[in-house]
Structure 1
Amino acid sequence: MKKILLPLLSLVLVLFSCENEALEGEFSGLDGEDSSSSIVGAWTLVSFNNTISNTGEVNGTTVESNTIIESTDTNYNMTFTAANTFNAAGNYGYNVNSTVNGQNSMQDLSLDDVSGSGSYTVNGTEMTVNGGFFTLEFQGMDLSQAQGEQTLDFSITDNGQTLTFIQDTTETTTIPGGGSTTAEVTATSIWSRVTTTNTSCADAMDATSLAENAYNNDTTNAGLCNAYKTALQNQITVCGDANGSIQVIFDGLNCN
């Protein structure tokens, strides 16, 4: 599955290129960052919502659409490290309300065992991300055109406890086979800082070792796999990962 930052634009473009098929399949939301020092640590997703208004012409047909996606339940954590990397894992549900040329469709969807990773830089209240906070698959299609380096605004409020990402952009895309579309996209996600007890690097490494041994004894157990990933994520937060070796192990674990 492909990891992306802003899935909604890709979703609408795919809908257009497929001649306005009904909205089906899996879809996932977006996110961002804050001041490089204060953003370091673990955050849990509170909510996300995305709105896209799209107009254009595809194969000689005028297309107008409006899509609203709102989270319904979330169990998804993301960790930013001092080495300017991030990783995320968990699951979430969302509602999709889409109207294309006057035809409306609504779906309640959910994604399990979602993961994301990449690198980031911060300049004031602007973050540039290379990678994806979420994973997206839609009707078995590769939506990776939304993957890669993207920029978004963020703020940290409530005495450092709330992180908000906002992405507001307009993009025009040429459709293969003829036509183009212009999308106005507004996306927001809200995260809450995860409060953790003071853990030494040695303790974090010991916890990772225990989780690794348990997983190696039963590599088909999804629960042990996810526990190992959580321990690795915590070790990155506490100890750092200067050479990226822990992140490589994290990315290589498939808990499905």
Structure 2
Amino acid sequence: MKKIALFLITLVTVFSCGEELEFNSPAIQGNYNGNPWKAVSYAADIDFGGFLIQGSNNIETIQLITQNDIAGTYILGGDNPNVAIIKDENGVIYSTANDPDEDFSLYPAEGQIIVENVYDTTPKTMTGTFWFYAFTEDGTQTVNFNEGVFYKVPIVGGLVALDNSSSCLQATQQVSITQIAYNATDTTMPDYTEACNAYKIALMDKIDICDDPDGSLQIIVDGLGTCIP
């Protein structure tokens, strides 16, 4: 009886240690189209002021891109600059930046990236959760990923977005920077025309790179006129 008890204690100890080791290891995993998915390689980067988190199982690659490089909740889909991307085994790219074809789906791309913690280690690491629905560029194919987790993924740099998401993010941030300068410049100030033109160019670049589905950016451009006070 003592031998059985000792064997059970040993089993509990072994499995407890195994679970702890797995939990304490870096990971990106979740359910991809209803099937368990786990990365075998993972890394993160800070690019254009936001996070780029990447995981791959050597067949598919997932990327999560955020507007800022701080902990918080980042909404996906619509006009949000935050993006989730999957490159499948055939090289087809699905992105939350793509809208569905109306004949294919009435449900838009959507999701969330929640950065819970950024640990000040060497290198820095980050932990959080995510879920999303993404579409191909023509909007006729979709994938979903739910119960996603990234755990203590190292921020080591050197990553590049699979589509033009980083370019769109950079354009969005440039609009924010030039808008601040424009709003702080009165029409009577000598550098008004320069500030106005910089803001206008940034808006036009964003339209070119990110598109302007509802025309709101073009309305702002038109409202700036010739930038002559």
TM-score by length of 1: 0.27
Q: Which has the higher strand share?
A: 1
More relative contact order in 1 or in 2 (CA 8 Å, sep 6+)?
1
Q: Which has the larger Rg?
A: 2
Report the TM-score, using the length of structure 2 for normalisation. 0.29
